[in-house]
Structures are given as structure tokens and as C-alpha cells.
Amino acid sequence: MEHAAANGSCCNGNGAAVASASSPPPPPHVAMLATPGMGHLIPLAELAKRLASRHGVTTTLITFASTASATQRAFLSSLPSTISSLSLPPVDLSDLPRGAAIETLMSEECLRLVPALTSLLLDLKKTTTRLVAFVADLFGADSLDAAAAAGVERRYIFFPTNLHVLTLILSLPELDATVAGEFRDLAEPLRLPGCVGIPGEDILMPLQDKTNPAYKWMVHHGRKYGEAEAILVNSFDAVEPGPAKVLRQPAPGRPAVYPIGPLIQAGKEEDASSPSPCVEWLDRQPEKSVIFVSFGSGGALPAEQMRELALGLELSGQRFLWVVRSPSDEGTVNENYYDAQSKKDPFAYLPEGFIERTKDVGLVVPSWAPQIKVLAHRATGGFLTHCGWNSVLESLVYGVPMVAWPLFAEQRQNAVMLSEGIGAAIRVPESKGREKIAATVRELMEGEGKGAAVRAKVAELQKAAAEGLKEGGAAAAALAEVVEKWTAGEKN
């Protein structure tokens, strides 16, 4: 479903929108490109909502028809009338090797759709007199060429993850030229300005094999980001004070960086006629007694790790709410990346008798749970997470301390930053045996070891996130500055 952005304008004989003498000028309009995956689309949509509610800016969200899912279509249809949606046509990727990395697929698709995107933006300019900017997400750097060809002067990158990862990607062209061998073989952690040292094996997954096209694409994006006028980042100073300070300083060849987060999806109002079984179950649990376990919409554990997690939760003796998905033998991005629903019955992979033995303390749900409602619930006291950045921000906004169990993409790097850097999570030991899983869960939930300090730090970050988003707060001020540049006709 597509929404028409209300702009209070009419069209001239050439189809261009013009304001009548008596009507107010149309609102400023922004085109945003979301590369495939709900984890990319949701924060862009939240940015569009914030632009509308605080600054009167309307938006067209541009998506990819080839990866549209029922989940994505339902999400787009639920957006307010200030946000319209258009999709780019399917593109042939059959020449790429079977098993190509997801980063390669997204980057190739974006590159091949530059002509189609150029045409779309030219058409969009004919229907709005105030297309003030184009914003592409992290894998859409080549789309900046389409915006330039269409005559859109202000071209931005929206980076949905954090400042640590952005610093790494901006540094990649130099690192590619100076670091011999593989990052995973580095003898010492990689130390970038302002950032927590990242052990080689925890560096961004697409960088772990320099012979893989995904690596070359990431280096390409690092160069291409330099062509943007600015980069908007879904993070905030308190969670990453080091890189925030460094990136705020002007540097030759580097765009201005604006931390405008946290941008998270708002929870929907509960339907009284059909309340969520998860919420009903949580209503019956003591305050802060439940650990929520979820690996996001694109992640799944190998079958053996899934079994160890089940037995570890049971051994911990803690109350738990676990969103179970059918296993992926690789433990990486699986067939469900573009949709939230498991294709197989995930319960079939749980240890025999597990659900029956834990029925008094645990609830296991297939594929999906209303994550915002769960994290916001008084009974939720911890979050065992894959460390996808959207989930991390949601946990911080609702003040829920984390157990880090990263899977792919930038998640291992996020886990290091959260556990070793800011102290907002406890990381599950690499062996991931049931005893260590149980011990880590107990440490967080019972305040043992690092547990108490993690809880205190998350409470501090929750307050900082809220303060930054208030009128006059750092994140609100950063976004206001960007909009002022757009509407004043300035350039960075």
C-alpha cells in the first residue's frame, strides 16, 4: 500500500506541484532509500516520523520490490500519511555466486538500480516543489550517484548502527592499504580514535575474509561515504562518548556526523479484545524477574547451540520468555532474513521434555514476540540479545540490562563495545556450554559479579537517552540543525 504525502499543493500543466497564492507553501520533502531488511527499514521510518512530528517534513520511503515480504508490506501500510512509499523494480542477481554474502547482494542490487532510482527521483521532483534532500542507508552509498544525477543537491547517509562501526568503515580505505593479512589474525586489538579496542576475531564480519567480495564492498562504501554531505547516526553520546567526541571534530574528507538517536519503533497500543499471550504471561510474573531471549528477525542459532541455550536457561533457574526460531546450521543470516516467520516448526528442535519441565517458569513462543512491549514490561529484568543495534537501543531506552550473544554482521563488535567498553552487558563465554550460559544469566538477573554494575550503567544510559531526545537535548538539537540546513538552502 502506498500513502500520498499531504503537501497542500496542486499541479501545473507539466505535473509539477505549485502552491496556490492563498495556500501555504508545501512542506519540505525528503526521499529515503532503505536497503533490504526490516532492521534497515524500521529506523529510517522512525526518522521519517520524527521529522514529521517535530519539523513538519514529509518523506517518501523507497524500498526494493525484490525482497518485499508480508511483514514489510504490513509495516509500510501502517505508516502515517506524512510518509509515502515507493519501490524499485526487481533486479537480476543470478550471475552472483550461490551463497554470496548478504552485504554483497544488497550492495550489488543498489548499484544495479542506480538508473531506476535516478528516474524515480526525477519523477518525484515533478510531484513536489520541495524535495530538499536524499538520505540513503548504510549499504546504499552508490545511490548517492542517482541523487546527484537527478539534481538533488543535499545527499546524506543514514547509519542505523553505531559510531564505533561508522569509525571503522570510514577508516577502511586506509586500513585496507596498511593492514597486512586478515583482521582476524591481528595480534593486538584494533584501536581506532576514541573507540574501544576490538579483537581481530570480533571485527565486523564482512571484513573477516579479504578475498570475499563483501570485504571489497565495505571498503568501497567507506570511500563512498566521503561523498555525502553528512552522516546521520542512530546513536547517542552517552553510550559512545569516545567516538562521539572524535567524530564531532571536523576532518578533511570526512562528512559532518550527527548522532540523532536513539530512533526506535514505538510500541503499538494493546488490543483489549486480543491481548498478546506474551504480555498476559508477563503480567503474572514478579517485577524484573524474567529474562527475555531473542535473536532478532534475521538470526537463528545452530541446532546444538539452541539445545545448549535451552538447557542453560533451565539450569539457571530463572524465569524466561524465549522467542524460538528454527535453527540455522551456520548461525549466520539465514533464509528468514527478509521475514520474521520461521519456515519450520522451531519447537521440534528443543530438548525432549524441555517445555514441560520449564512450564512453571518459562514461556517459549515461535518466531516473534512484541519486543517493545516485552522490554517495557515491569516483569522484564534482562535481555539475552544478539546485539543487533536496534535491539540494543530498545533495551537501553527501556532500561533493561543485557546478556550479549552476538551472531553476525557487526554484532560481535557491538558485544565488545557493550561489555568491555560501556559496561551495559555481560557477554556469554565463547564456548556457550549450558553451565556457562546458566552462570551468565544468573550473574545478570541476581546481580552477582558484574550484574549489579551493568544494571546501574543501563539505568544511567536510559536517563541519558531520554534527556537527549527532549527539546533542546543533544539528539534533538542535532536533527534540528540538519533540518535547518535543508530548509535554509544551506549546504554543510
User: In the chain, pLDDT over 70 holds for what percent of residues?
Assistant: 90
120: helix, strand or coil? helix
Are 10-265+469-487 and 277-466 the same fold in CATH? yes
- Containing 396, the helix (H) or strand (E) segment is helix 389-397
State the pLDDT at residue 342.
56
* CA atoms of 102 and 145, how far apart (whole Å): 22
How far is CA 463 from its chain centroid? 21
* CA atoms of 241 and 282, how far apart (whole Å): 35
Superfamily of domain 10-265+469-487: Glycogen Phosphorylase B; (3.40.50.2000)
State the pLDDT at residue 325.
93
pLDDT digits (tens, 9 = 90+) for 76-117: 999 999 999 999 999 999 999 999 999 999 999 999 999 999
State the pLDDT at residue 78.
94
State the pLDDT at residue 261.
97
Map grid coordinates 562521539 to a residue: 244
Catalytic residues: 40, 137
Q: Assess contact for 323 and 365: CB atoms under 8 A.
A: yes
Query: Is 15 a residue whose pLDDT tops 50?
Result: no
Grid cell locating 86: 515507493
CATH topology classification for 277-466: Rossmann fold (3.40.50)
State the pLDDT at residue 67.
83
What is the domain partition of the chain in residue ranges?
A: 10-265+469-487, 277-466
**Beta bridge partner(s), residue 384:** 293, 403
State the pLDDT at residue 269.
57
Of 127-131, 269-273, 345-349, which has the strongest mean pLDDT?
A: 345-349
State the pLDDT at residue 367.
86
- List the single range of 13-27, 168-182, 229-243, 367-381 with lowest mean pLDDT: 13-27
165 φ, ψ to 5°? Answer: -65, -40
**What pLDDT band is residue 5 in, cutting at 50, 70 and 90?**
very low
When pLDDT is averaged across residues 3-18 and rounded to a whole number, the result is 41
State the pLDDT at residue 339.
52
State the pLDDT at residue 1.
40
When pLDDT is averaged across residues 265-291 and rounded to a whole number, the result is 84
State the pLDDT at residue 270.
53
278: helix, strand or coil? helix
